[in-house]
Amino acid sequence: MTAAIELTGITKRFPGVVANDNVNLTVQKGEIHAICGENGAGKSTLMKILYGMQPADEGTMAVNGKAVTFSSPTDAIDQGIGMVHQHFMLADNLTVLENIILGAEPTTGGVIRFKEAEDHLAEVAEDYGLAIDPDDLVETLEVGERQRVEIIKVLYRGADILILDEPTAVLVPQEVEALFDNMRELKAGGSTIIFIDHKLDEVLEIADSITVLRHGKTVATMPNEGVTAPDLAELMVGSELPTPDTTESTVTDEVALKVSGLAVADEDGREVIANIDLTVHKGEILGIAGVEGNGQGELVDAIVGTAQVTKGTIELHGHDITRLSVRKRREAGLAYVPEDRHHEGLLLEAPLWENAALGHQTQAPYGSRWFINRDGAKQQTEQIREEFDVRTPNINVSAHALSGGNQQKLLIGRELTSEPSMLVAAHPTRGIDVGAQAAVWDDIRTARSEGLATLLVSADLDELIGLSDTIVVMLRGRLVARLSPDEVTPRDLGAYMTGAATQDDGEAA
Amino acid sequence: MTTLRNLPAWARWPLYVLAGILLLTIVQSISDTGRLTAVSTSREMLRWAVPIFLAGLGGLFSERAGVVNIGLEGMLILGMWFGAWGSITYGPWAGLAIGMIGGGLGGLLHAVATVTFNVDHIISGVAINILAPALTRYLSDELWASPTTSPRTQSVGDWDVPFLAGGTIFGWESPDLLKSIGDREWWYLSDIAELARGLLRGTHWVAIIALLLVPFTSWLIWRTRFGLRLRIAGENPQAGEAQGVDIIRYKYIGVIISGILAGLGGAFISTELSGLFQGGNSAGRGFIGLAALIFGNWRPGGVLVGALLFGYVFGLDLKDLDGTASHALLLVNTVALAGVAAWALSRRRTTDAILATILGVGALAWWLSAETVPNWWSNILPYVLVLLVLVFFAQRLRMPAADGLPYRKGES
């Protein structure tokens, strides 16, 4: 039997990174094929190549046994491939029907035959058991319904190979169940589904076959038989990284950060995290483990001050900072390394010295309450450059001229030279090269030995185990386990992260 | 209110209009002016409203495609000049067409800058607004040896509607029904007749074309493939791209149509209203068109209502030399603000209700304490109106979601 999709030796390079490195992927007809991997493992890039949104630099593609090259999504659509994007591609102010027929409108002399379109839509919806009202404005729909519209949009065009890019990322558990039912129905109807996910329990529940990507390479392809979540976690994370081990404990009794009963709600008022209690001492690194999207981001935002706390308190050195502004928190000694340095960490168009002053603009030597002290800021930036080995021709170049690793070193330098007492670091080594990674680990370790308290969120389990003094695990917005890094392996951690293993409450406290 | 809202739009709007005229009639009967419902007022209203509407409709095409077009004023000015030049050289209808081409070229420039080169829409628009008067000044100087004025242009003319406004059919002069009703001085009825007659007698052909553009645009935007794709360019271009729509093309078309319509508005000003090109005659109507677009919630019918509203205030001001009509208008404002306050209260928007009440009381106090209003007030009134509309109704407005955002193909 010919495979529905066969990708051979796909390589895609972006400036400074190899996103896909000789990737092979074979998807059989009529199966649900999961592609797992960490963020940055190259899953999305691979799918964009398959859907014709980006050309591959090397490699060949075959659809139903026929060699193909795509120069735009239209080509992929012609071959029966449809993609449901992670971020919905829907216009809020258009009706469901308009969103669906767009690009494939039945027309007479340019006038849309709405009646015919609606009939065809009703047919497709009935065939796959997907109910939807064509006249609703998309803005009135729930997230799950929007996803259904996206899927119908693809089916409306007659696609029989569906790519679902992290479809569960935005859904609550009940909606995930509904989606999985839809997927099974599609499969029964003969469709082939490629499905990207990094929530391992979901992958194991729905997939027929699994392909794991790591650092742009295919690590394994296997049928979903006898595979366990810890197996997958190990494959996804790997263990060839330099080890980030810390030396002897520097943990003190002095409490730096104390979070009690914390809860944060999303826009719809649903609690995304709840009942969070945690304490970080001076000289301690508290690691937060968890599959992405289980509330780590919200916890970090709440502590830093960019998310609205609905319940509970946050104390820094005994002072309640729950209602303080971000600036006041930073002035009180809080430092922050954000998850996405381009989005939240740096101004890419601004020179390095301005970036170094960000967040400290009201404090010496960068400035005073009203004015920026250019000379002071530049001097301090030079110092960061030297101390943290930021490789740049000078401090007046704009931040986007630096490589990711050097941007991160500048950012970490900025946060650590302000003599903070509490550091919140989210994925501090994500997307940077191995050398820079080791440097960042060194910086964090040094600061720890000088008494800095650190809250470390990371998806890199080796990093967590190596750096942390204590690890807590987050699952579905709750802290579910408290572990000692000396006794835990990435495999165990994976089991807690997916809920496969649990701790009784006494231990978790 | 609920029963009113259940009526179809074609029945609802005439009722709103009749209610508005009733308000004007009542206010007029307790003031010392007859101009609020005079023939001349509604004629001037239409003359002002047409270029405002055409510019606003142009803005609609551009912004529905996601490109903010603050350069409408400049495109209108280009239309004024090219319209005048075309009219002098090739005759009146050709003049209008050439004016549209002139405006369209301005649109093309804006499209090249904003769509191809991703220049900030406001910056490009402002540049066009600076460029257009300078360019036309230069061209006038070269061609007509005067930087500010052209020779007389030719007009495509106007039309009196037969029977209602005494138009002639094959040389036979039909009765002028509205005039005879207006002359009877029946309360309210004659007021309606006078206002209607201002619209139907001496109606410019361009005004008729402009009115026909309302249903045509609605049909185009909501019923055709072109319209759907134009809208996706302004709502979520990435989504359109993912479904194989050539967004760049639709943005170009939208912005060029925008310039063409503004150009027609400009040509109307120079060839039909002024009878010559004169620098400065645009009087900011391109900008006011943009305000009408916002007032009209990016819908063709709404843009027309906005243009007529602004046109009314401008038109009234033009004939109101002693300030009595503008003074009477203060009372209209009071009533309107009271309505806004009641509406805001019913929606539990207390701040808006309080603000409307304060402004309404202010207008009432001014009306009571003075016999006339100074000249500057009637000059700024249209702009004050724009501001008030935006303050109170901005939350109900729905601009295209990706309006003004940069778009690059292949980036999500």
More reliable by pLDDT, A131 or B138: B138
Mutate to test the interface with A, among B243, B253, B397, B398 (most CBs of A within 10 A): B243
Tokens 């005079």 correspond to what residue?
A: B38
Residue A264 bridge partners (DSSP):
A273, A309
The answer as to whether B189 is a domain residue is: no
Is A71 part of the contact surface with chain B (CB cutoff 8 Å)? no
Within 166-225 of B, beta carbons closer than 8 Å to A belong to: 223-225
Task: Tell me what the mean pLDDT of segment A74-93 comes to.
Answer: 88
Query: For residue A135, is pLDDT > 60?
Result: yes
Q: Are residues B285 and B211 part of one domain?
A: yes
Query: For residue A509, is pLDDT > 50?
Result: no
State the DSSP string of B320-336.
-SSSHHHHHHHHHHHHH
Structure tokens at A157: 């065009």
Is A50 part of the contact surface with chain B (CB cutoff 8 Å)? no
Q: Are residues B298 and B327 part of one domain?
A: no
pLDDT for the residue A73: 83
Q: Are residues A322 and A229 part of one domain?
A: no
Is A103 part of the contact surface with chain B (CB cutoff 8 Å)? yes
Is B396 part of the contact surface with chain A (CB cutoff 8 Å)? no
The answer as to whether B194 is a domain residue is: no
Say whether B78 sits in a helix, a strand or coil. helix
Question: What percent of chain B clears pLDDT 90, i.e. is strictly above it?
Answer: 48
Domain that holds residue A181: 5-237
Q: Are residues A203 and A64 part of one domain?
A: yes
In sequence order, the 6+-apart residues with CB closer than 8 A to the CB of B188 are: B21, B22, B25
Q: What are phi and psi of A140, to 5 degrees?
A: -90, -5
Query: For residue B356, is pLDDT > 50?
Result: yes
Q: Do B401 and A92 touch (CB under 8 A)?
A: yes
Q: Do B243 and A153 touch (CB under 8 A)?
A: yes
Asked casually if ipTM beats, i.e. exceeds, 0.90, the reply is no
Q: Count of CB atoms within 10 A of residue B188's CB? A: 15
In sequence order, the 6+-apart residues with CB closer than 8 A to the CB of A335 are: A415, A416, A418, A420, A422, A423, A424
The answer as to whether B406 is a domain residue is: no
Q: Are residues A223 and A142 part of one domain?
A: yes
Contact residues on chain A for B231, CB-CB shorter than 8 A: 91, 93-94, 98
Contact residues on chain A for B408, CB-CB shorter than 8 A: none
The answer as to whether B171 is a domain residue is: no
Q: Are residues A196 and A47 part of one domain?
A: yes
Q: Are residues B249 and B121 part of one domain?
A: yes
Residue A378: is it exposed, middle or buried by C-beta count within 10 angstroms (0-12/13-18/19+)? buried
Among A92, A103, A107, beta carbon nearest to B243: A103
Residue A335 bridge partners (DSSP):
A423
pLDDT for the residue A506: 40
Mutate to test the interface with B, among A70, A93, A115 (most CBs of B within 10 A): A93
pLDDT band at B116; cut points 50, 70, 90: very high
Residue A319 bridge partners (DSSP):
A316
Distance CA A344, CA A334 (A): 16
Asked whether the beta carbons of B75 and B287 are under 8 A apart, the reply is no
Angle at B332 between CA B328 and CA B335, to 5 degrees: 140
Contact residues on chain A for B401, CB-CB shorter than 8 A: 91-93
Query: For residue A505, is pLDDT > 50?
Result: no
Task: Tell me what the mean pLDDT of segment A255-278 comes to.
Answer: 88
Q: Using one digit for the tens of pLDDT, what is the confidence trace for A218-257?
A: 888 999 888 887 778 778 766 544 455 656 778 888 899 9
Contact residues on chain A for B229, CB-CB shorter than 8 A: 102
Q: Are residues A179 and A52 part of one domain?
A: yes
Contact residues on chain B for A55, CB-CB shorter than 8 A: none
Question: Final residue of a domain: which of B260, B288, B318?
Answer: B318
Q: Are residues A260 and A230 part of one domain?
A: no
Is B76 part of the contact surface with chain A (CB cutoff 8 Å)? no
The answer as to whether A350 is a domain residue is: no
Distance CA A274, CA B120 (A): 43
pLDDT for the residue A404: 77
Peptide bond into A485 cis (omega under 30): no
CB pairs under 8 A between A and B: 73
The answer as to whether A58 is a domain residue is: yes
pLDDT band at A507; cut points 50, 70, 90: very low
Contact residues on chain B for A92, CB-CB shorter than 8 A: 235-236, 401
Q: Are residues A314 and A187 part of one domain?
A: no
Mean model confidence pLDDT for chain A:
86
Tokens 């109704």 correspond to what residue?
A: B393
Question: Final residue of a domain: which of B262, B287, B318?
Answer: B318
Rounded (10°) angle between helices B285-295 and B375-393: 30
Q: Are residues B224 and B347 part of one domain?
A: no
Q: Are residues A300 and A196 part of one domain?
A: no
pLDDT for the residue A238: 66
Distance CA B58, CA B63 (A): 9
Is B405 part of the contact surface with chain A (CB cutoff 8 Å)? no
Is B6 part of the contact surface with chain A (CB cutoff 8 Å)? no
More reliable by pLDDT, A135 or A168: A135
HEC sequence for chain B: CHHHHHCCHHHHHHHHHHHHHHHHHHHHHCCCCCHHHCHHHHHHHHHHHHHHHHHHHHHHHHHHCCCCCCCHHHHHHHHHHHHHHHHHHHCHHHHHHHHHHHHHHHHHHHHHHHHHCCCCHHHHHHHHHHHHHHHHHHHHHHHHCCCCECCCCCCCCEECCCCCCCCEECCEECCCHHHHHHHHCCCCHHHHHHHHHHHHCCEEHHHHHHHHHHHHHHHHHHHEHHHHHHHHHHHCHHHHHHCCCCHHHHHHHHHHHHHHHHHHHHHHHHHHHHCCCECCCCCCHHHHHHHHHHHCCCCHHHHHHHHHHHHHHHHHHHHCCCCHHHHHHHHHHHHHHHHHHHHHHHCCCHHHHHHHHHHHHHHHHHHHHCCCCCHHHHHHHHHHHHHHHHHHHHHHCCCCCCCCCCCCCCCC
The answer as to whether A372 is a domain residue is: no
Residue A130: is it exposed, middle or buried by C-beta count within 10 angstroms (0-12/13-18/19+)? middle
Distance CA B81, CA B303 (A): 25
Q: Do B225 and A111 touch (CB under 8 A)?
A: yes
Strand order in the sheet with A334-337: A334-337, A422-426, A453-457, A285-289, A470-475, A478-483
Query: For residue A166, is pLDDT > 60?
Result: yes
Structure tokens at A201: 């329990």
Q: Are residues B341 and B245 part of one domain?
A: no
Report the candidate in B91, B136, B87, B146 with the shortest Cα–Cα distance to residue B267. B87
Minimal Cα–Cα distance from A348 to chain B, Å?
Answer: 17
Question: Final residue of a domain: which of A177, A205, A237?
Answer: A237
Task: Tell me what the mean pLDDT of segment A330-359 comes to.
Answer: 89
State the DSSP string of B245-298.
--HHHHHHHHHHHHHHHHHHHHHIIIIIIISS-BTTTTTTHHHHHHHHHHHTTT
Tokens 């992670």 correspond to what residue?
A: A86
For residue B312, how far is the Cα from the chain centroid?
A: 10
pLDDT for the residue B263: 97
C-alpha distance across the termini of chain A, in Å:
54
Find, in chain B, the residue whose alpha carbon is nearest to that of A86. Answer: B412
pLDDT for the residue B228: 96
Q: Do A105 and B226 touch (CB under 8 A)?
A: no
The answer as to whether B212 is a domain residue is: yes
Q: For chain A, what is the domain count?
A: 2
Q: Using one digit for the tens of pLDDT, what is the confidence trace for B186-237?
A: 888 888 888 888 888 889 999 999 999 999 999 999 999 999 999 999 999 9
* R_g of chain A, CA atoms, integer Å: 25
Q: Are residues A329 and A233 part of one domain?
A: no
Q: Are residues A261 and A233 part of one domain?
A: no
User: How many residues would you count in chain A?
Assistant: 509
Find, in chain B, the residue whose alpha carbon is nearest to that of A78. Answer: B244
Domain that holds residue B16: 9-33+320-397
pLDDT band at B301; cut points 50, 70, 90: very high
Q: Do B244 and A77 touch (CB under 8 A)?
A: yes
pLDDT band at B51; cut points 50, 70, 90: very high
Q: Are residues B133 and B250 part of one domain?
A: yes
Do β-strands B172-173 and B168-169 pair in parallel, antiparallel, or remain unpaired? antiparallel
Q: For chain B, what is the domain count?
A: 2
Contact residues on chain A for B247, CB-CB shorter than 8 A: none
Mean model confidence pLDDT for chain B:
89
Tell me how many helices (H) and strands (E) chain A has: 17, 22
The answer as to whether A472 is a domain residue is: yes
Among B226, B229, B239, beta carbon nearest to A89: B239
Report the candidate in A427, A497, A437 with the shortest Cα–Cα distance to residue A460. A427
pLDDT for the residue A162: 93
Kindly tell me the sign of the dihedral angle through the C-alpha atoms of A426, A432, A433, A435.
Answer: negative
pLDDT for the residue B322: 76
The answer as to whether B265 is a domain residue is: yes
Structure tokens at B112: 């090249």
pLDDT for the residue B141: 92
Q: Are residues A157 and A127 part of one domain?
A: yes
Contact residues on chain A for B398, CB-CB shorter than 8 A: 93
Residue A481 bridge partners (DSSP):
A473
Question: What percent of chain B clears pLDDT 70, i.e. is strictly above it?
Answer: 98
Task: Tell me what the mean pLDDT of segment A4-28 comes to.
Answer: 86
The answer as to whether A275 is a domain residue is: yes
Find, in chain B, the residue whose alpha carbon is nearest to that of A150. Answer: B239
Q: Between the CA of residue B178 and those of B13, B105, B140, B391, what are the distances in Å?
A: 21, 42, 43, 38
Contact residues on chain B for A48, CB-CB shorter than 8 A: none
The answer as to whether A409 is a domain residue is: no
Q: Using one digit for the tens of pLDDT, what is the confidence trace for A276-307?
A: 999 999 999 999 988 777 888 899 999 999 88
The answer as to whether B375 is a domain residue is: yes
Q: What are phi and psi of A181, to 5 degrees?
A: -60, -45
The answer as to whether A133 is a domain residue is: yes
Is B228 part of the contact surface with chain A (CB cutoff 8 Å)? yes
Question: Final residue of a domain: which of B271, B299, B318?
Answer: B318
Distance CA A325, CA A340 (A): 21
Stated as kind and residue range, the H or E segment containing A278 is: strand A271-281
The answer as to whether A46 is a domain residue is: yes
Q: Using one digit for the tens of pLDDT, what is the confidence trace for A428-483?
A: 887 676 667 788 888 898 899 889 999 999 877 778 888 999 999 998 889 999 98
Q: Are residues B383 and B250 part of one domain?
A: no
pLDDT band at A40; cut points 50, 70, 90: low
Query: For residue A172, is pLDDT > 90?
Result: no
Asked whether the beta carbons of A36 and A14 are under 8 A apart, the reply is no
Q: Are residues B265 and B132 part of one domain?
A: yes
Within 109-168 of A, beta carbons closer than 8 Å to B belong to: 110-112, 114, 153
Task: Tell me what the mean pLDDT of segment A398-411 comes to.
Answer: 84
Is B233 part of the contact surface with chain A (CB cutoff 8 Å)? no
Contact residues on chain B for A99, CB-CB shorter than 8 A: 239
Q: Are residues B326 and B257 part of one domain?
A: no
Minimal Cα–Cα distance from B221 to chain A, Å?
Answer: 10
Task: Tell me what the mean pLDDT of segment B76-101 comes to.
Answer: 95
Structure tokens at A390: 């930021």
Query: For residue B253, is pLDDT > 90?
Result: yes
Distance CA B101, CA B372 (A): 45
Q: Are residues B250 and B145 part of one domain?
A: yes
Find, in chain B, the residue whose alpha carbon is nearest to that of A52. Answer: B242
Contact residues on chain B for A93, CB-CB shorter than 8 A: 231, 235, 398, 400-401
Q: Are residues A217 and A310 part of one domain?
A: no
The answer as to whether B56 is a domain residue is: yes
Q: Are residues B211 and B99 part of one domain?
A: yes
Asked whether the beta carbons of B61 and B231 are under 8 A apart, the reply is no
Among A54, A90, A98, beta carbon nearest to B228: A98
Q: Do B243 and A92 touch (CB under 8 A)?
A: no
Among A83, A93, A153, beta carbon nearest to B235: A93
The CATH number given to whatever domain includes residue A273 is 3.40.50.300
Question: Final residue of a domain: which of A185, A207, A237?
Answer: A237
Distance CA A340, CA B298 (A): 36
Q: Are residues B382 and B308 part of one domain?
A: no
Q: Do B243 and A73 touch (CB under 8 A)?
A: yes
For residue B140, how far is the Cα from the chain centroid?
A: 27
